[in-house]
Amino acid sequence: MSANPRSLALDTLAGIGRGKYGNIAVDTVLKRSDLSEADRHLFTALVYGVIERQVTLDFLIDQFSDRPTDALDEPLRLALRMGLYQLIYMDRIPDHAAVGETVALLPKRTRGYANAILRSYLRQSGASREHTLTSPKAWGERYPVLRDPASAAKGFTPETVAFGVPLTMWEVYVQALGYAEACAVLSAFSHKPPLTLRVNPLRQATEALDTELTNEGLSPESGLYLSTALRLPISGDITRLPGFASGAFFVQDEASQLCVAVLGAQPGDTVIDTCACPGSKSFGMGMDMNNQGCIFAFDLHESKLSLIQKNAERLGLSIISVARRDARDPDPALIGKADRVLCDVPCSGLGVMAKKPELRHKDLSESSRLPGIQADILEASSRYVKDGGVLVYSTCTLLPEENQNIICAFLEKHPEFSPVDFKISAKNPAVRDVCSQNGMLTLLPHLHGTDGFFIAKLTKQQRNQTS
């Protein structure tokens, strides 16, 4: 496979535009190519960066091109996005290299056109590049055309260009969160999040792993809330990190770790994870249980279950049993038998946009059926809970129709369940405490420093407490 990172990025972006998943496409190239470490980083940065900033880049192309971006042929359009991304967001690449190397990817008939647009941008921007514009107000002041209704008709507004999201996605966030909160969340999604590890106390203490990582020059930081969390300002192949092979950790955002902490699994419990893949929450529960008790990890996708089993073995967790099961169809043998049930349902994923930039371009009509599925899964999962047991519902989205609305409707139908408030104090003064209201909490990246995430905790009353 070609060892030119820009050429590979161009081909990969074309494939993603035709429906391939970004992370799968990138991983495939990295496995098959012989790129140097520096070129691997360049390739990855270009692919994810162009996806993340596509709306912004298309607006800028629109300012310098005599044709709208969607009227350009695909290689030219992608190359212009890549070239502008390098000029604006990659300070270590000289301007002449960003322009020359990008233009060279194109056939001769379009090289002059691409070169003219990129150099027009350089002349206009001078030393002041658009990455310094971090708010809708700043974009609107630099480009008054963004306040023109004709720009909005093309999908370009101060907000969509500032945050790099299509107009339909911006409107969804505003409806869900309000204008100010939507701006804050999308601004947070524009910053690359750290890699967060969940340390496995069955294998190694947090302090010992911290020391190993520090000795490798990786500069780990303590978790914001939990003593088992370590944050690394890196990305890449986690299998190369110290402690991976010995099962000292797995990757898990602290929002997901907090969800497991709220469930509160104890040694000896019977726990059911109804939508378990890729398994991180089952692993966290197994560690909280000190590998004592029983965890049933179910998932609809049988092909993914082997990954749970493989990682459970690496982590030294023998109490996890995996099986294929539709979460809407509970196992009759386990009805009323579980001390704790985790219902982490399929969702639109709009809380993890910082890690999955292709979500910015998600067709939200595909998510319209999710609330019905989520309600059915919660209904079925609740049947597993024994009297006095705990049920946690969670998603990695921020939409009320997939979160609060589901819980409120469930509680109206099930008076035997009650919300339980929870609180976890922050260890870092830069973030807020985790503190629920009516048993529900939405974690927000700009307030909690985690993925966007929703957690609801319910308990089933003892029979002698019901009337």
Half-sphere exposure of 361 (CA within 13 A, CB side): 17
- Catalytic residue (choose from 275, 347, 396, 408): 396
Question: What distance lies between CA 172 and its chain's CA centroid?
Answer: 17
Tell me the three state secondary structure of residue 250.
Answer: strand
343 given a catalytic annotation: no
Do 405 and 416 form a contact (C-beta atoms < 8 A)?
Answer: no
DSSP string, 380-439: HHHTTEEEEEEEEEEES---GGGTHHHHHHHHHH-TTEEE---EE--SSTTS--EE-BTT
Of 382, 442, 378, the closest CA to residue 406 belongs to 378
Residue 364 CB burial class (10 angstroms; 0-12, 13-18, ≥19): middle
Residue 330 CB burial class (10 angstroms; 0-12, 13-18, ≥19): buried
Overall size of the chain counted in residues: 467
Interacting residues of 2 by C-beta distance below 8 A, sequence separation 6+: 8, 33
Q: Tell me the residue ranges of DSSP E strands in 87-239.
A: 195-199, 221-222, 229-232
Residue 440 to residue 409: CA distance in whole angstroms: 13
Over the Cα atoms of the chain, what is R_g? 24
Residues forming the active site: 396
